[in-house]
Structure 1
Amino acid sequence: MMETRTLSIWRLVFCVFAVFVLLAPAASVSGQLMVDFYSLSCPAAEDMVRNTVRSATSNDPSVPGRLLRLLFHDCFVEGCDASVLIRGNGTEQSDPSNQSLGGFSVIDSAKRVLELFCPGVVSCADIVALAARDAVALTGGPAVEIPTGRRDGRVSLVSNVRPNIVDTSFSMDEMIKIFSSKGLSLEDLVLLSGAHTIGSAHCGSFSDRFRKDPTGRLVPVDASLDRSFAEELMERCPAGFDPSITVSNDPQTSSSFDNQYFRNLMAGRGLFQSDSVLFSDARTSNLVEAFADDQESFFAGWAQSFVRLTSIDVKGDGEGEIRLSCSVVNAE
């Protein structure tokens, strides 16, 4: 019913643009992204995505965090080309780190609406980037203007995932290596880690932070982890770290995109080892302190880093396609 109402609303909205779109030439796709790329070929494209995300979020508050994580896992492997959406054996979705990803149904819903009004025009890669952008804004974060014009990739291999994704147990050097390979700086690393201000994680993703003592009781491995926070995590997650149980990345303001994440790090309440190391490492501790103290500074930096994230290895003319369905490549 929700999808039917959404389609009816957009039929009315699109009538305003129908004649103009039919007469206007479609915007050409090139390797150069540009703001308002769809202004002629699909003027309401960004509004359609935004309203789809808003509708999904109203039904499920976990959607924004899922969409933001989906973008990271897409862009870090094969670039921002929606390769993580392709289903099938041996694809990126087959890797264990991607099997807990969510938000696919939101992307599919937006794609169906766009295909109804602008068939074959808007790429799945752009939908993923726009949906993540809107997820941040809808949870109180900055509204970021991002360029569009990405094409969808045709390659999705499970073997490409492990070498390119940051693991929650990574050291600072390991994270710097991955981020640097994507053209992202040390400051980008800290700013984009701020994405953990929303969303949740499965217990198994931070089980490395605990061990069993001789009596079989769980104890923290890292002494810098706040004791009360460690107790909360051990109470929330049973001894076996049941992978079906989730914990908020930021237990203080879990549904708000804000700078509480950085305050948590300073208080020893970072959920992952890869979070905590940002404050314990001298190379980044000053940035953590700065963003914890000034939310506007975090938001301003986030906007710039987010644009760089969504521009990683984008596909242009001759390098990709506009998929008709986000889960499968087009037939030859």
Structure 2
Amino acid sequence: MNSYQSKFHGGMFVPLLSLLLLPSSASELSPFFYATSCPNVEFIVKGTVQTAAAVDPSLPGKLLRLLFHDCMVEGCDGSVLVQGEGAERSSPASSTLGGFQAVEAAKRLVELFCPATVSCADILVLAARDAVEMTGGPSIGVPLGRRDGRISLSSSVLPNIIDTTFTLDEMLDHFKSKGLSLDDLVVLSGAHTLGRAHCGAFSERFDQSDDGTWRPADPSMDRAFAAGLARRCSGDDSGNVTVGIEPVTPAVFDNQYYRNLLVGRGLLGSDSQLSADPRTKKLVLSLAHDQAQFFRLWEQSFLRLAALDVKTAPKGEIRATCARPNQQ
């Protein structure tokens, strides 16, 4: 059996190579963790996400972003789901996150069949995995067994997430601090093939007059693309206007994101740097021309992301509800 052969689980393949490359903190995770204690958990979560996405088509992008915010801050422990003053969710940097209700709905249903068994952290990972699959991306078998964290601090959010104004060096330093590589940065940025962004997320690329009119100011942006964004965001006094991060196929998980970067149609400043810097442009070019490669590398990088600083028994807990630790 070579390193690219796989173990089969739950209708999906789990690449052995990817499992071997997971952080040591994830060594106790297993694709078969709930095989006897809650064998239908993956089907329950997937059904819940599909039902919720039928009502809110933007949900897949929200769930994927929610997982990023969870794993990058305190590790993949569901701490981003906790509500309350001073929790991660109360940080201004978390104000545009969504998808919480879908995770809670899945948790409630799982509790009916398997009480006090499945963590919110695992449910979030499964929901994000399903979000990719249901929008055309690869099916990924994910190791499970995470516990929910008991700590969720608003003050931990800003130092641990990437801002859209970061330079490539800043983004790379951030990823390296989490045990992720330059290639992981390029591949996981492909998550921006889904989702929407508020105008404020890319406002530094435009000049804004006193009357609220936007004018393109970043010469690296395609002129027609920038002009369209300026029209969309001019006069957005409420801050509620959003645009698709990837404007061509915004509801499909594909490699169009990388194609956009090569023609100056990257929405976020941090994204555009990936096609401008020689350290990352080669991989951007490759992924733009080979969707199968993107899917293959996405699977490996997603598994590494979903294994960051996980908590397993006896650390952490199985929350009764995702919005608050059990002791509260």
The one of 124, 148, 157 equivalent to 2:153 is: 157
Q: What root-mean-square deviation, in Å, do the aligned CA atoms of Structure 1 and Structure 2 show?
A: 1.5
Q: Does 1:196 align with 2:197?
A: no
Mapping for residues 121-132 of structure 1, pairs under 5 Å: 121-132=117-128
Give the structure 2 partner of residue 279 of structure 1: 275
Out of 237, 260, 263, the position equivalent to 2:259 is: 263
Kindly state the Cα deviation for residue 213 of structure 1 after the two structures are TM-superposed.
6.4
TM normalised by structure 2 equals 0.90
Change in Cα spacing, 1:245 to 1:218, as seen in structure 2 (3 Å) is closer
* Aligned counterparts of 1:209 and 1:97: Cα–Cα separation in 2: 20
Q: Deviations over 1:106-156 (max 9, x none)?
A: 000000001001000000000000000000000000001110000000000
Max Rg structure: 1
Q: Which residue of 1 aligns with 2:106?
A: 110
Percent identity among equivalent residues? 55
Q: Is the 8 A contact 2:186 2:283 kept in 1?
A: yes
Are 1:35 and 2:31 counterparts? yes
Paired residue type of 1:35: P
Matches within 5 A, 1:1-332: 32-212=28-208, 218-240=214-236, 242-331=238-327
Instruction: Tell me how many residue pairs correspond in the alignment.
Output: 303
Unaligned runs of 5+ in 1: 1-29
Could you tell me the TM-score, scaled by structure 1's length?
0.89
Query: Post-superposition shift, 1:243?
Result: 1.7
What letter corresponds to residue 288 of structure 1 in structure 2? V
Q: Is the 8 A contact 2:196 2:242 kept in 1?
A: yes
Q: Counterpart of 1:5?
A: none
Partner residue, 2:13: none
Alpha carbons 1:196, 1:250 under 8 Å: kept: yes
Q: Distance in 1 between matches of 2:311 and 2:208?
A: 47
Following TM superposition, the consecutive aligned residue runs of length 4 or more in structure 1 with deviations greater than 2 angstroms are 212-221, 239-242
Counterpart of 1:115, as a letter, is E
Amino acid at match of 1:223: P
Letter aligned with residue 196 of structure 2: S
